[in-house]
Amino acid sequence: MKVVYLAAFEAKDYSGAVSALRELGKIFGCYEVHQQQKRYSPEEVAAIKLRLEEAGMSFEEVHRPKALTVVNPSPLSNGEGAV
């Protein structure tokens, strides 16, 4: 597999070289270790949230797309229909 990586890299086939490296990582078990998501306990989540709030992050704001936010309603939208 190392030969496949080197041959692909020398041929400037970078996508093939990356695929070969990924397969090498799977063979040695490196790929699986770094692809698993950590599961946090509720206590860890509370501690992380507290640290972020102390750093100035607010969890009170609600973010939504601008298309769903009515800033200045049209004067024609009085419920009587279009003029």
Mean pLDDT by 10 residues, the chain (83 residues): 76 86 79 70 92 84 62 58 48
pLDDT of residue 78: 56
In the block, residue with structure tokens 């496949």: 4
Domain residue ranges of the chain, discontinuous segments joined by +: 2-63
pLDDT of residue 56: 84
For 52, what's the count of Cα atoms within 13 Å in the CB-facing half-sphere? 10
Q: Yes or no: say if 3 and 24 are a contact pair by the CB < 8 Å rule.
A: no
pLDDT of residue 47: 94
Q: Yes or no: say if 25 and 33 are a contact pair by the CB < 8 Å rule.
A: no
pLDDT of residue 83: 47
pLDDT of residue 70: 57
CB under 8 Å to 9, separation ≥6 — which residues?
Answer: 17
